[in-house]
Amino acid sequence: MDHFLYRDGLLHAEDVAIQDIAEQVGTPFYVYSTATLIRHFKLFDEALDGLDHLVCFAMKAASNQAILKTLGNLGAGMDVVSGGEYLRARAAGVPRERIVFSGVGKTRSEMHQALQGGVRQFNIESEPELHLLNEVALSLGRTAPITIRVNPDVDAKTHAKIATGKSENKFGIPISRARDVYAQAAQLKGLDIVGIDVHIGSQLTELEPFVAAYRKLAELTKTLRSDGHNIRRLDLGGGLGIPYTRSNEAPPLPTDYGAMVKRELGHLGCEIEIEPGRLIAGNAGLLVSSVIYVKSGEDREFLILDAAMNDLVRPAMYDAHHDIVPVIEPAAGTEQAVYDIVGPVCESGDTFAKGRHLVAQQQGDLVAFRSAGAYGAVMSSEYNTRPLIPEVLVNGDQFAVIRARPSYDDIINRDSLPDWL
């Protein structure tokens, strides 16, 4: 459930009409609902009630500090994957002891930065990383808390580009090698083994792949304990999917997921961490755009929007579906037109939807992309020298711009010319 509903014929974000934001901010823009963010965080938090747990928002999904602060104020931790995300989480006031550092390619300087600043744990993904972190920790006179991410070789049954738990993927160490790598880690004086980490992919729409992975994790916990390791924390990753269409999708709810976690892992007495991104932010955000032209092609109508693939890359990159709805509610029974919905960028991949049914549109009409709160603004670029679009946060009847649209000068002045030109 989200808080983007029609009221008096106009699409609202909570108590604010989208049209009012568009008038003040201009299009295109992203808009997020505070109530939806809070609701989704609490669903997870409550689903794990009774277990010692921490919900770490995977901030790669949506990293604006206003979003991080909204969640951080509720007690959320953050899952970060770069030095930039680490600093951003800290800037948003997230306490160091709630920041988990993930990622397959952490650099020496990122390790240095997080050890100096303080971190809950590093999730280690390879042997060379283990040794480098040990070296950096020793050089600072610190001990780095770690889990090792294991790759359970489980099919997450999701889009190939976002599946991470099969042996062919670059992530984690093969679970068959875990005992050996934990034994190595235990010898390294700069490291403190606190637990095990697993993450098998994103946009999972069934619980079964999680169950398969978590059973292997439970088994491994027992084995490693019997080897003498003090396994006290399990990081279960993120990945629970969301419905992208209103009609037929019904992925499991956080309550189902929480019950499954308790059933599969509760008896181990470990602290549980989860790293949801999409489920917290996805349906908490819209991308709002306006129609530049309605263009007739040979055999189809094109709806050319002012948003493009550089603003929301998911359809071009993963053939992802986003529902696209008019901002003015159509009267019941209004006839629909069929459009290819595209942006202005100079490549055919800049297509949001083909053969999409939508009430007839005219120049200047506003449309909203649903489920755009996760992996939307964070994946945008300035391709075609198109400025990054603003982000707006709504809270009840208030809204605020949480990232302003840069001017063309801001963009152009970032270039510098060499002496010889």
In the complex, which residues of this chain contact ligand LLP (CB under 6 A)? 58, 61, 79, 102, 162, 199, 202-203, 237-239, 275-279, 314, 318, 374-375
- Rounded Cα–Cα distance for residues 310 and 385 (Å): 10
In contact, 391 and 365? CB cutoff 8 Å: no
User: At its nearest, how many Å lie between ligand LLP and the CB of residue 244?
Assistant: 10
Query: Rounded to the nearest whole angstrom, what is the least distance from the CB of residue 380 to ligand LLP in the complex?
Result: 12
Residue 25 or 270 with smaller CB distance to ligand LLP? 270
When the beta carbons of 47 and 279 are compared against ligand LLP, the nearer one is: 279
270 is catalytic: no
Q: Phi then psi for 26, rounded to 5 degrees?
A: 80, 160
Radius of gyration of the chain (CA): 23
> What angle separates helix 127-140 from helix 178-187, to the nearest 10 degrees?
20
* 226: its two tokens: 């019997």
Q: Least Å distance between CB 372 and ligand LLP?
A: 10
C-beta atoms surrounding 237 within 10 Å: 28
Nearer to ligand LLP, 158 or 290 (CB): 158
Residue with smaller CB distance to ligand LLP, 90 or 278: 278
Determine the Cα angle at 71 with ends 69 and 74, to 5°: 110
E strand or H helix at 223: helix 208-226
Query: How many other CB atoms sit within 10 Å of the CB of residue 258?
Result: 22
Q: How far apart are CA 388 and CA 64, in angstroms?
A: 13
Q: Of the two residues 315 and 343, which places its CB atom closer to ligand LLP in the complex?
A: 315
Separation of alpha carbons 183 and 180, rounded Å = 5
Least distance between ligand LLP and beta carbon 363 (Å): 30
The one catalytic residue in 346, 412, 417, 421 is 346
Which one, 28 or 277, has the nearer CB to ligand LLP? 277
Nearest to ligand LLP of 135, 208 (CB atom): 208
DSSP for residue 316: H
Q: How far is the CB of 100 from ligand LLP (least distance, A)?
A: 9
CB of 374 to ligand LLP, least distance (A): 6
Look at residue 404 and give its three-state secondary structure: coil
* Least distance (Å) between residue 199 CB and ligand LLP: 4
Task: Give the C-alpha separation, 98 to 79, whole Å.
Answer: 9
Cβ(191)–Cβ(130) under 8 Å?
A: yes
Between CA 30 and CA 172 the distance in angstroms is 34
d(CA 242, CA 251): 6
Place of tokens 């960028």: 345
Active site residues: 346
